[in-house]
Each structure stands twice: as structure tokens, then as C-alpha cells.
Chains A and B, each alone.
Chain A
Amino acid sequence: MPTVAKDGMRGLAVFISDIRNCKSKEAETKRINKELATRLSMDITKRNTFVNCYSSFYSGTMLTIGHIEAVNLLSSNKYTEKQIGYLFISVLLNDGNDLVNLIIQNIKNDLSSRNPIHVNLALHCIANVGTREMAEAFFNEIPKLLISKEDIDQVKQSAALCMLRLYRAAPDLLPNGDWQNRVVHLLNDSHLGVVTAASSLIHALAEGNPEAYSSAVGFAVNRLSRIVTSTYQDLQDYTYYFVPAPWLSCKLLRLLQLFPPPSEQARLIECLEVILNKAQEPPKSKKIQHSNAKNSVLLEAINLIIHLDNDAVCPLLVRATNQLGQFLNHRETNLRYLALESLAQLAQCDFSREAVKKHLDTVIQALKTERDVSVRQRAVDLLYAMCDRSNAERIVQEMLAYLEAADYSIREEMVLKTAILSEKYATDYNWYVDVILQLIRVAGDYVSEEVWHRVIQVVTNREDIQGYAAKTCFDALQQPACHENMVKVGGYILGEFGNLIAGDQRSAPLIQFQLLQTRFHLCSSTTRSLILSAYIKMINLFPEIKTEIEDVLRSDVLQKNSDIELQQRALEYFKLSAISASNTEMLATVLEEMPPFPERESSILAKLKKKKPAAAKVIESPTNEDKAKSLPVAKMSNDPPIPQAAPQQSSQDLLVDIFATPNTAPAPAAPSADPSYGMTNTAPAAAAPSEPPPLIDSHCQKFFLKNSGVLYEDENLQIGIKMEFRERLGRIQLFYGNKSSSVDISSFKADVGSIEGLNISTHQEAPNTITVGSQFQHIVNAETTKDFALFPILSISGIYGGQHLSLRIALPVYMTKFSATATMDANQFFQRWRGLEKPDQQSQAVFKTTSINREAASGILSSCGLTVLEGVDPNKENHVAAGILHSVTTIGVLLRLEPNAPSSMYRLTIRSSVPAASENICRLLQSHLQ
């Protein structure tokens, strides 16, 4: 029988059993209601009633009756009642519940109680609720409990963690004061429970501000040293299965990882050595708890060693690696898992890298034999981390082999990792091409776009492998089973470089074309579009098969295809081919081989980063050795011919993206979607930076009062603007001038997007090329639909001497530009003024100004489109103005500007029927009148 029944609460036991036995929700509610009725009518002790209510919640039914009862219980002086009251609050109180206000006073009373048990109940409750309201009410009260001399340890422990919870809930409310200096001294406390709790608090505080708490380092090292050198009898209560204070050790080791290595680190290194030594000692107990506790400390110590990562800990890094290596064959799955995880960290330290690599065989074995997928996953991570030029071939081979059997959940990540490793450590790029094609063969569905785009970039940029790539693709396409991604890569490569293998009779032009044609009908429409582009390229490469290709392009299946993309490509390509009969040079220019892609971060890496931020870091920070080795290769790939757009090589990353999708204006030349692919050399524009450039808007101020001027200017490009407005409409003329003496700006694109409240349409497009020394016009029309506060943005992109040009410029189209004159006399003005009396219709600002000048102020008001009304205000010094803003409806705007000459202040009041408009105009005018 459960113990509860014995202490006179039999009714409760029966009640809970009944609820547990209820078959349906209805039956449960019925039972609860019955219980409540009996309890309330019998008026048994408050506690019983409450416990029953709470039990009801426990089984899923919320009862409001409990709330008030709970508050009453809190004020009771009996522990049992108070405890239940607090329990209710802690468990049931949600964010923003009104109940909080009711209980704050009760909690305050308990916090200042002389009974430590009551204080603790209150602290636990605050920590458990842990909302911002709690922080507002109690944050200032708790530090004194934490550092007071009289308070008992129990209270200090709870106070420390209570502080921590409030700090997490509302870091900005952290009380200042002496306690911050004294809190680190708690690490010296004689009660290890207090130290345990305090170290968590200090960790959180120091995380945000390590310098302020750097004094904790000394205390932590001291304490750690005392723990690790003690025997298991010394610490008594805090020894867990013969391990002295394992949790506290972990916390201290973790705390030390927040700080840079201490200047005097001998003592710390000594501690770490002792921990490593103890881990090697024969176990004092066969119990798993003993080994777990010991190893938790060991692993945390290794984390700290990795964090220190300097010459002094070099031997420790190697030792740690060897000790973890022993775990790789341990019969505990947990340990094997954790060893793989830690080794992946150690593989990134220069000192231990070589030692980690010794375990390659064991790790590969783990990949093959582990039963738990998460362990295999860690093995993959470790292989990825320990890979370098010396073992890349083997590791990539093993990963490919494992991929065939790998769990579906980790396949995509494995494909990414294999692709990255094979590219980064390729000495022979033919091998790289082989690996990627094998990836497609083994796990085609998991090969993301980034991966096959990348192989095309690499091939395009490296002349030495183009022939090999074409041949391999050709062979792969001949296989009976062939993944669609293979068709995409094959189609692209043959279209670009098919000529390199055309000499061989087995892969003659016609055979290449027919091979693609056999795959054509089995593919999705994006792949088919890509194949069509390959065909038109083939017309250029192999004039001898022009008729065959034209027959296909002309066929009804394509010319009348329901897929618009295919139809359009077929039509356009056919036309292009026809025109070329008379003008072969044009075809050759349009379909010229793609230029090398500019160097930038691999999109595969970017993708992996998104999936697993930690994993990608491994490869981003190559060891010194790698940096040195990659330089000559970088030079190699920079061999001639270097087209104009060839950008600088970075030694970090040799290869680049083709089809990274930039989110700026220029259209990406993705083969799958953009019909212009293959027609023109738009690739460089496609590789525009994927980050949008910063918005340029500093010029806007000066256009508040005028409508034309220079919008933007740098050493190459000048942009002028001229704006005209009439009611809701505006015409914005933009003038682009190329200031340089020699280089045209090509692939030029300029576009203005609509914003909320302002529709923009293009009247005259900007030209594609801005030739030297000339100026071109671009006209857009604007139309307001409602009031607006933002500026429309002009996005510009282009190529200038091999450099990308990318700009985002705010167009200074203020709402006030769309205002018309409004004349009225004093009567009309004040009548309307009073008509707009609601608080949100008025916007007011009082501000200091440099000088009060009546003419200048009038000038500003009238040039921003308002009509200055003279003789309306009884005070002659005041300005009064009115205007009508045009959008779908007209918005009337009334203004009063009252100067106060002695203090050189202005008071500006704007009233308008649209609250946002008054606010907006008030803000704009203030900045000009100041």
C-alpha cells in the first residue's frame, strides 16, 4: 500500500486511483466534480481540498477554484500548507498570469522570514517561475541572501541559482553592487554545495563579461586542485562512487574554459595531469557509476586542455588523444561515442592532430560495425575532422563505401562532407571528378544542387580536367541506369566540352547528341531545359550535326510543348540556329565557352554550415601545413588564359560557385531556371555576392527640400536624379554616367522596387552597358496608394573591369513630395485644426535649434511642399502652414511652429487625419529645423 494512505490521506489515494481508472475524459470530469462537491461541503482541511484540485490538473483538467485557495495557502504559517501553495504556483503559473501580482507580497514576506525553510520555499518558487515579472520584483532582494554572513548554506545555495534564473530571464535587470565582487569568493566556501551552486551562477555571469569576473580563475584553480588531490575519504558527503566531487569538478573545469589561459598556469596543468593520471588508474569499483563519474571529469578536463591549446599543454593534448584512443574499443557504447566526439575536437588542434590520425583504422572499423546510428554519425564527423592530404583518398573511399549502406537520415550530410573533402584535398582533379560522379551514382537522390553545380564550376575553371570530365560523363551516360543528376552534369559538360572527345569515333558528335537524346524523355522538365541548352551549344561546337539538332528543336513535341520553358527554349534556340546560317560569327560569340567562375566560398560548405555549424568550422580553419600546400595549386589554376573577369585567387578556397543564388537584383544564371543560360555569358553576374550590399541613404536629407542633384558618386560611376511630382504621381529620372577613361560597365542592371504605399513602374529601362564617358537615362514612375515612411530602393549591379559592382541606394522620395498647396484663412484653419483633436492625430516635438530665423523656417516649410499661411496665428512669431498629401485619398496636413527665442527652442505641432503621416512629417521637419 502506498505510504500516503497511512498518513491519514486515504481519501486522496482513493481519489487518485479513481481518476487513474477512468476510461474517458467525461468520466474523469464527473469524478472530479463529485470530489470537489464533497470536499467543499465537508470543509475538510484546506490542504486536502487543494491537493485534490491539483491532482485534477495533473490528470489534465484545469480548475480555477484552486488559484485563490493557493494564495491563501501561501500566507499560512504551517509548512505543509505553505509548501503546497508554493508547489501550485511553481507548477501552474504561466507567463503573464495575473496571479503573480497577488503573490508578490507573500513571497516578499517569506524572503525576509527568519525561518530558513520559508526563505528557501520562496527562493525555489522564484527560480521555478523565473519570469521577467519575478526579476522585476525580486532581483534586488536576493544578492544580500547570497553573501550575508549569517545565512545558512541551504539558503545561499538556493539564492545563487535563483539569481542565475532571474539573470537568464532579464539580464538587463541585474542589480549592481558590491555583491558582484564578493560572489567569486563563494568558490572558496567551505560548503561544497554552495560552491557547486555558485559556480553555475559565476559561469553564467562571466559568460557575458569574462573580464569582470577574471578573479574567479584563481579561486577555481585552487578549489579544483584541492578536489583532485584529495582521496575519496576526504570529501565524505561529496564523494560519489569513490570519485571526489565529480559534478563540482566538471563545473569548475567548464568555468575555466571561459577565460584565456591564466598567466601562471603551472598549477592548473598540474591539476589536469592528476586528472589524466587518475583516469588511468585501475578502477576502485566495477560499478558503471564509478567509471562514468571519473570519465565525466576526464572529458571535461580534455575540453579545457583543447581550450588552452598552447605549447605548455602540448604533451597533455597528445596524452589525452591516446587515452581517448583506448576508449574507442571500450565495451561501453557511451564511451565509444564520447571518445569519437572528443577526438573530433582534438583533430583540430595542431599538437594532437597527428596523434588522432593514428586511430584512423579503428574509426573506420567503428563506421562499419557500430550498431547505434548516432555512434556511426560521430565516426563520420571524426573522419571528416581528421582528414588531410595524407589520408584523404582513403577516407573519401571509406565514406563512399559506407554511403551505400548508410542510414537515410545522414546520407545528405555525408554526401556534402565527401564532396567537400574530395575537393579540398584533391591533388589530382580527375580523382575529384570520379568521386563526385560516384556520389551521384551511389546516392543520387541525396546529391543536392550545390554539389553538382560545384563539380561543373571546378571543371570549367580547370582546363586540365575538362577532357577527362567529358569522357567520364560520356561513359556514365552510356550506363543503363543513370541518375538524373548525372544527366544534368553530363548534359552541361558535353555541351561545353564535348568537342574535346569528339575526335574519338566512339564518342563522335552525333553519338554524343543521340546519347543525350535517349535520356531526354526520361527527365524532368528542368533537366530537359538544360539538355536543350546543351544542344544549342553543340550546334556551335559541331556544325556538321546542325541539321539533326534542328530537326529535334523544330519538332512539334517541343515547339508546341505545354511546358512554357521548354517551348520557349526550343523556339529561341531554333531561331538562333537559323539566323546563324548567315552570320556564323554571332553564334560563336553568343555560345562561346563559359568563362571561369570567380573564386568564392564553396556553396557546399555554406550548406553544411547551415546544417551543422560546428562541423563546417573544422574545414574552414586549415592547419598551417594545409595553407602552405594549397598555395602552389592556387597558382596552377590561375594559369592562362585569364579572361578579363578573372578575379584574385584566394589561397583558402581554390574553387568557386557557379550558380550560387544571390539575393540581389542580378538574375542568377541557374541552368535549371534561367532561359538565358548558355546564350550569353552571364555567369559572372550570377556570382555576385550573396550578401546584399549596405544601403546608401546618407544623401537623402538634402533632397528633402529639392528635387534634383547628384544621388551617388564614386570614382567610376555617377548617378544623377531629377524628380517631378504632380498629385499622386511622380516621375523619377536617373542619369548614369561612366566617369572612367577606359573601361565600360557591362552587364549593367538597375531596378527600383515598389514599397508599401508607393508603386514603382519602369518607364524607360536602364541600358545594359554604360560606355566610357557617356551618360544614360533610366526613368521610373511612382504612384502613391497610401501614406508611407520608407524610401524605395534602387538596386544596381554590373561588372566593372572584372570587379562586381553592386549598390543599394535609397531614392529620396519623401511623402511630402506628393503635397499640393492649400490656402485658407484663419477661420478655416482653426476650424480644421480643432477637427483633428484626437491624440493620435497630433504629433508634437519640442527641440533646440541653432538659430531662429523666420525667413529660413518659412523657406523650409514651403520647399517641403506646405503652404505657409501668413496672418493666421494671433502670435506673429508663430508659423502656420497647411498642405494636402495625395494618395488614393487626400490627407490634409496642418502645421504650427512656435519659436521660443530666449531659449532658442521650437515647438512643432502637426495634425493630420492619418496618425502615421503626422508622426512622419514631424520627424522629418524636426531634423531640418534643428
Chain B
Amino acid sequence: MIRFILIQNRAGKTRLAKWYMQFDDDEKQKLIEEVHALVTIRDAKHTNFVEFRDYKIIYRRYAGLFFCLCVDVNDNNLKYLEAIHNFVEVLNEYFHNVCELDLVFNFYKVYTVVDETFLAGEIRETSQNKIIRQLQTLSQLE
């Protein structure tokens, strides 16, 4: 199960934080900082998985952004690694070449994309076409 999703830039600014467990605000801040410290020092030759407290972080870097999923230790690493990529492709399609600023200015839309893709810490929908279609339906209502 996904415990939380973090999107951070290289400087450690959080671009999205989605929590599937109850944490208080101080704890969230601590997690954000620890995850940032953990993933930024790793180079491209390293694995995309890193042990973290009692969990593990599965992460992937796209340009200056780190997409991190915190999952249970016995979860399937590659499944979640590709879930990140699938999610990024959806964002890319939806925002037409997504960039960091899109996430900043359209944070409320990003949350909708997350909820269509992941829910309750599980993968909800994997078909990019289905997600995009749903997002477009919703956009038309705006």
C-alpha cells in the first residue's frame, strides 16, 4: 500500500504531498525533509528503491522533479516504479508537456489527477485513456 506520495524539486520544495496515513503536521514536515535528503544524494547508477524507516521509497526523477512513493517493504518495487511513470504520462498528456510550474499553478487539478489514478493508497485506474477521458469530462464542467 502507498503510504504517501511526494513530488519535490531538487531544492526540496514540495510540489505535491498526498498522505494515505494519518500524520500530524510536524511529522509530515519531517518526512518531507527526510525523503528529500534521502533521494537527492543518489545518482543515476543507483537503484530507484531505498529503504526508509519501516517502509521503502520508490522514486523516479524527471528533470528537476523527484516523484516519490512511500510503500510497504514487501510491495512490488517495479509495479510502483511504473505506476509513477504511468502517472507522469497522464500529467504530461493532460497539461500538454507538463513542467514544474504547471504543478504549482494548477495544484487543484493535480489533486484530481492523483485521485483518478491512486485512491486510498492503492492503484485505482491504470488506463491512461480512461483517466484522460474522465479528466476532460470534468474540465468541460469548469
A: residues with CB less than 8 A from B are: 2-4, 7, 12-13, 16, 20, 51, 54, 58, 79-80, 83-84, 87, 90-91, 94-95, 117, 124, 127-128, 130-131, 154, 157-158, 161-162, 164-165, 168, 192-193, 196-197, 200, 237-238, 240, 245-248, 250-251, 254, 289, 292-293, 295-296, 299-300, 333-334, 337-338, 371-372, 374-375
Task: Pick the contact of A154: B20, B51, B134 (CB < 8 A).
Answer: B134
Instruction: Assess whether A130 is in contact with B126, with CB atoms less than 8 Å apart.
Output: no
Chain B residues within an 8 Å CB radius of A293: 78, 82
Instruction: Assess whether B49 is in contact with A165, with CB atoms less than 8 Å apart.
Output: no
Instruction: Assess whether A2 is in contact with B111, with CB atoms less than 8 Å apart.
Output: no
Instruction: Assess whether B77 is in contact with A338, with CB atoms less than 8 Å apart.
Output: yes
Instruction: Assess whether A124 is in contact with B115, with CB atoms less than 8 Å apart.
Output: yes
Instruction: Assess whether B86 is in contact with A240, with CB atoms less than 8 Å apart.
Output: yes
Task: Pick the contact of A127: B105, B106, B119, B123 (CB < 8 A).
Answer: B119
Q: How far is the CA of A779 from the CA of B127 in the complex (A)?
A: 78
**Interface range for B:** 35 or more
Identify which of residues 10-43 in chain B touch chain A, using a CB-to-CB cut-off of 8 Å: 20, 22, 24-25
Instruction: Assess whether A247 is in contact with B138, with CB atoms less than 8 Å apart.
Output: no
Q: How far is the CA of A388 from the CA of B116 in the complex (A)?
A: 50
B: residues with CB less than 8 A from A are: 20, 22, 24-25, 45-51, 76-79, 81-83, 85-86, 95, 101-102, 104-108, 111-112, 115, 119-130, 134, 137-138, 141-142
Q: How far is the CA of A16 from the CA of B24 in the complex (A)?
A: 26
27 pairs, A vs B, C-beta closer than 8 Å: A2-B106, A3-B105, A4-B105, A12-B105, A79-B142, A83-B108, A91-B111, A94-B22, A124-B115, A130-B22, A131-B22, A157-B124, A192-B127, A193-B125, A193-B126, A193-B127, A200-B120, A200-B123, A238-B127, A240-B126, A246-B79, A289-B85, A293-B82, A299-B76, A338-B77, A371-B46, A375-B47
Instruction: Assess whether B138 is in contact with A79, with CB atoms less than 8 Å apart.
Output: yes
Q: Could you count the A-B residue pairs with CB atoms below 8 Å apart for me: how many are there?
A: 150
A83-B112, A293-B82, A338-B78 known; A196-B123 Cβ under 8 A: yes
Chain A residues within an 8 Å CB radius of B105: 2-4, 12-13, 16
Task: Pick the contact of A292: B25, B78, B120 (CB < 8 A).
Answer: B78
Task: Pick the contact of A193: B46, B49, B83, B130 (CB < 8 A).
Answer: B130
Task: Pick the contact of A164: B86, B102, B122 (CB < 8 A).
Answer: B122
Q: Identify the closest chain B residue to A237 (Cβ).
A: B127
Task: Pick the contact of B24: A94, A130, A192, A374 (CB < 8 A).
Answer: A94
Determine how close the nearest CB of chain B comes to the CB of A18; give it in whole angstroms: 13
Determine how close the nearest CB of chain B comes to the CB of A240; give it in whole angstroms: 7
Instruction: Assess whether A2 is in contact with B127, with CB atoms less than 8 Å apart.
Output: no
Chain A residues within an 8 Å CB radius of B51: 374
Instruction: Assess whether B111 is in contact with A87, with CB atoms less than 8 Å apart.
Output: yes
Q: How far is the CA of A254 from the CA of B119 in the complex (A)?
A: 19
A79-B142, A238-B126, A289-B82 known; A16-B47 Cβ under 8 A: no
Q: Identify the closest chain A residue to B80 (Cβ).
A: A296
Chain A residues within an 8 Å CB radius of B104: 16, 20
Determine how close the nearest CB of chain B comes to the CB of A286; give it in whole angstroms: 15
Q: Identify the closest chain B residue to A168 (Cβ).
A: B120
Instruction: Assess whether B111 is in contact with A90, with CB atoms less than 8 Å apart.
Output: yes
Instruction: Assess whether A165 is in contact with B47, with CB atoms less than 8 Å apart.
Output: no
Task: Pick the contact of B125: A13, A196, A240, A337 (CB < 8 A).
Answer: A196
Q: How far is the CA of A758 from the CA of B136 in the complex (A)?
A: 72
Q: Which of B51, B78, B85, B111 has the most CB of A within 10 A?
A: B78
Q: Which of A13, A200, A254 has the most CB of B within 10 A?
A: A200
Chain B residues within an 8 Å CB radius of A13: 105
Instruction: Assess whether B22 is in contact with A334, with CB atoms less than 8 Å apart.
Output: no
A79-B141, A238-B126 known; A300-B76 Cβ under 8 A: yes
Q: How far is the CA of A20 from the CA of B122 in the complex (A)?
A: 33
Q: Identify the closest chain B residue to A241 (Cβ).
A: B82
Q: How far is the CA of A342 from the CA of B115 in the complex (A)?
A: 32
Determine how close the nearest CB of chain B comes to the CB of A60; give it in whole angstroms: 10
Identify the 10 closest CB pairs spanning chains A and B, nearest first. Answer: A296-B78, A165-B120, A79-B141, A237-B127, A200-B122, A161-B120, A161-B119, A296-B79, A2-B105, A372-B46
Determine how close the nearest CB of chain A comes to the CB of B126; give it in whole angstroms: 5
Q: How far is the CA of A300 from the CA of B119 in the complex (A)?
A: 22
Task: Pick the contact of A197: B121, B124, B128 (CB < 8 A).
Answer: B124
Instruction: Assess whether B119 is in contact with A158, with CB atoms less than 8 Å apart.
Output: yes
Chain A residues within an 8 Å CB radius of B123: 196, 200, 247, 251
A79-B141, A240-B126, A247-B123 known; A334-B134 Cβ under 8 A: no
Chain A residues within an 8 Å CB radius of B79: 246-247, 250, 296, 300
Chain B residues within an 8 Å CB radius of A248: 126
Instruction: Assess whether A3 is in contact with B95, with CB atoms less than 8 Å apart.
Output: yes
Chain B residues within an 8 Å CB radius of A254: 76
Chain A residues within an 8 Å CB radius of B129: 237
Chain B residues within an 8 Å CB radius of A95: 22
Q: Identify the closest chain B residue to A82 (Cβ).
A: B141
Q: How far is the CA of A245 from the CA of B130 in the complex (A)?
A: 14
Chain B residues within an 8 Å CB radius of A165: 20, 119-121
Instruction: Assess whether A334 is in contact with B48, with CB atoms less than 8 Å apart.
Output: yes
Task: Pick the contact of B122: A7, A12, A124, A161 (CB < 8 A).
Answer: A161
Instruction: Assess whether B141 is in contact with A80, with CB atoms less than 8 Å apart.
Output: yes
A83-B108, A296-B78 known; A161-B124 Cβ under 8 A: yes
Q: Identify the closest chain B residue to A254 (Cβ).
A: B76
Instruction: Assess whether A295 is in contact with B78, with CB atoms less than 8 Å apart.
Output: yes
Q: Identify the closest chain A residue to B83 (Cβ).
A: A247
Instruction: Assess whether A164 is in contact with B81, with CB atoms less than 8 Å apart.
Output: no
Determine how close the nearest CB of chain A comes to the CB of B11; give it in whole angstroms: 12
Instruction: Assess whether B141 is in contact with A127, with CB atoms less than 8 Å apart.
Output: no
Q: Which of A238, A247, A293, A300 has the most CB of B within 10 A?
A: A247
Chain A residues within an 8 Å CB radius of B22: 94-95, 130-131
Instruction: Assess whether B115 is in contact with A334, with CB atoms less than 8 Å apart.
Output: no
Task: Pick the contact of B120: A91, A94, A164, A247 (CB < 8 A).
Answer: A164
Q: Which of B46, B82, B104 has the most CB of A within 10 A?
A: B82
Instruction: Assess whether A333 is in contact with B47, with CB atoms less than 8 Å apart.
Output: yes
Instruction: Assess whether B122 is in contact with A372, with CB atoms less than 8 Å apart.
Output: no
Task: Pick the contact of B124: A16, A158, A375 (CB < 8 A).
Answer: A158
Chain B residues within an 8 Å CB radius of A54: 108
Determine how close the nearest CB of chain B comes to the CB of A96; give it in whole angstroms: 10
Chain A residues within an 8 Å CB radius of B81: 292, 296, 334
Chain A residues within an 8 Å CB radius of B78: 292-293, 295-296, 299, 334, 338
Determine how close the nearest CB of chain B comes to the CB of A615; give it in whole angstroms: 12
Determine how close the nearest CB of chain A comes to the CB of B141; give it in whole angstroms: 4
Chain A residues within an 8 Å CB radius of B120: 127, 130, 161-162, 164-165, 168, 200
Determine how close the nearest CB of chain A comes to the CB of B43; give it in whole angstroms: 9
Instruction: Assess whether B102 is in contact with A374, with CB atoms less than 8 Å apart.
Output: no
Chain B residues within an 8 Å CB radius of A299: 76, 78
Q: Identify the closest chain B residue to A193 (Cβ).
A: B125
Chain B residues within an 8 Å CB radius of A337: 47, 49
Instruction: Assess whether B124 is in contact with A247, with CB atoms less than 8 Å apart.
Output: no
Chain B residues within an 8 Å CB radius of A3: 95, 102, 105-106
Determine how close the nearest CB of chain B comes to the CB of A88; give it in whole angstroms: 9
Q: How far is the CA of A240 from the CA of B129 in the complex (A)?
A: 11
Chain B residues within an 8 Å CB radius of A168: 120
Task: Pick the contact of A117: B95, B108, B119, B138 (CB < 8 A).
Answer: B138
Determine how close the nearest CB of chain A comes to the CB of B74; give it in whole angstroms: 9
Chain A residues within an 8 Å CB radius of B46: 333, 371-372, 374
Taking A87-B112, A300-B79 as known contacts, 8 extra A-B pairs with beta carbons closer than 8 A to each other, sorted by chain A number, are A2-B105, A13-B105, A124-B119, A161-B120, A289-B82, A299-B76, A334-B47, A334-B81
Instruction: Assess whether A162 is in contact with B119, with CB atoms less than 8 Å apart.
Output: yes
Instruction: Assess whether B138 is in contact with A372, with CB atoms less than 8 Å apart.
Output: no
A124-B115, A161-B120, A293-B82 known; A247-B126 Cβ under 8 A: yes
Q: How far is the CA of A91 from the CA of B5 in the complex (A)?
A: 13
Q: Identify the closest chain B residue to A2 (Cβ).
A: B105
Q: How far is the CA of A296 from the CA of B121 in the complex (A)?
A: 19
Instruction: Assess whether A58 is in contact with B107, with CB atoms less than 8 Å apart.
Output: yes
Chain A residues within an 8 Å CB radius of B128: 237
